[in-house]
Each structure stands twice: as C-alpha cells, then as structure tokens.
Amino acid sequence: MAISDLIGCVGVTLLLLGFFLNVFGFIERDAPPYHLLNAVGAALSGYASYLIGFVPFVVLEGTWAAVAVAALLRFPRRAA
C-alpha cells in the first residue's frame, strides 16, 4: 500500500466517522468535534489526492477543509 493510499484511508475514515457520529446523534453538526473531524479528514484526503495528482479532489477536499476550519474559528467568538 502506497503512503498516499494510507493517508487517504485515514482521511476518509475521519470524514465517515464524523458523518456517522452526527447521523446517529452522538455529536451535533455545530459541535467543534464534528468540524475538527471534517477539517482533518478533508485535509488528509486532499493531500492524498495531491500526491496522486487528482486535481478535482484536491479542490473538493481543500474547500471542505477550509469551510470546516472557518466553522471551527467561529466557536471562540460565539462562546464569548
């Protein structure tokens, strides 16, 4: 298994874990852990896509990661 495969598998697993936990009510979609799983999972998946040269998924996962990070950055302001 290539390193890009391993990185991609970890990334997709984190994305699916966040999805599963949200759908079954273990975490809310506005909770920081949900956005953290999305940010890290998308970043890893995007990096794996970059390593194999698959640009459409680099764009998709990069956007997904950026949106999740933006959502995470909202939390300190909302709590204050």
Q: Is the pLDDT of residue 80 over 70?
A: no
Q: What angle do CA 6, 10, 63 make, to 5 degrees?
A: 110
Distance between CA 64 and CA 76 in Å, rounded? 21
In this predicted structure, what is the pLDDT of residue 10? Answer: 98
Instruction: Give per-residue pLDDT as tens, 6-30.
Output: 999 999 999 999 999 999 999 999 9
Note the pLDDT of residue 78.
55
By percentage, how much of the chain surpasses pLDDT 90?
89
d(C-alpha 20, C-alpha 32), whole Å: 15
Q: What is the pTM of this model?
A: 0.89
- 29-33, 38-42, 63-67: segment of lowest average pLDDT: 29-33
User: With the C-alpha atoms ordered 52, 58, 61, 66, is the resulting torsion angle positive or negative?
Assistant: positive
